[in-house]
Every structure is written in C-alpha cells, then in structure tokens.
Amino acid sequence: MSNKINDLTTNVTAGRASAVVPTRDVVTGGGNAAPAPAQGEVHITDTASQLASLEQSLRDAPAVDSARVAQLQSAIEQGRYTVDAEHVATQLMAMEKALAALSGKGK
C-alpha cells in the first residue's frame, strides 16, 4: 500500500487509523525535538506542512499564464518589447549568490 505525503489521514496499518500530531521543526529553529511517536502516531513538522501546502498551491496554479504570454507576444511583434540588460544581469547575479549560499559555497 502506498501513502501520499500530502494525505495526512492515510492509514499506516491496514484497518487502523493513524493519529496526525503536528510538531515543531527543530531544523528551522521551531523548538525542541518531539518525543518519539507512539505506535500508530505520525508527527508532521511545520516545515513538512508548509511544503505540502506549497505543493498544493503549485498544483492548483496554471503552468502557463496565457494572458501574459499573449501580451509579450504582441509587444514583440509590434517592436515594443525591450530588454533591460542591466536588470537581467543584476537578477542573474542575485540568483547566483542565493544558489551559492544554499550550497554552502557563498560567503
């Protein structure tokens, strides 16, 4: 039997419902570690709950903003679309710094 991470009411053992007990997330500084769960209990951290919520938001959002695509396509066709190279470069550098910080390579 497979369990989805965002299905918090899924039975862990066939025929026996699991209790879902939210806990604080130690990794993000959310407090002390929770005691080991009793048999049949599942502890969900704040971070896991946030990730499940974000996953659902992304799933509900359209993959492409058709109105924005049409607007940009029209601007390009009419020659009104301009690129601010300095802004693009600044944003690329900011993203590179953020990614470096995540991987521990940034200072």
The structure tokens 């396509």 sit at 73
Give CA–CA dist 45/28, Å, rounded. Answer: 10
Can you give the pLDDT at residue 107?
Answer: 53
Mean pLDDT in consecutive groups of 10 residues from the start of the chain, 107 residues: 52 49 52 62 86 92 92 96 96 96 73
Give CA–CA dist 70/74, Å, rounded. Answer: 6
Can you give the pLDDT at residue 40?
Answer: 79
Can you give the pLDDT at residue 104?
Answer: 77
Domain coordinates in residue numbering, the chain: 19-103
Can you give the pLDDT at residue 44?
Answer: 82
Can you give the pLDDT at residue 12?
Answer: 47
What residues are paired with 21 via a beta bridge?
A: 43
Can you give the pLDDT at residue 41?
Answer: 82
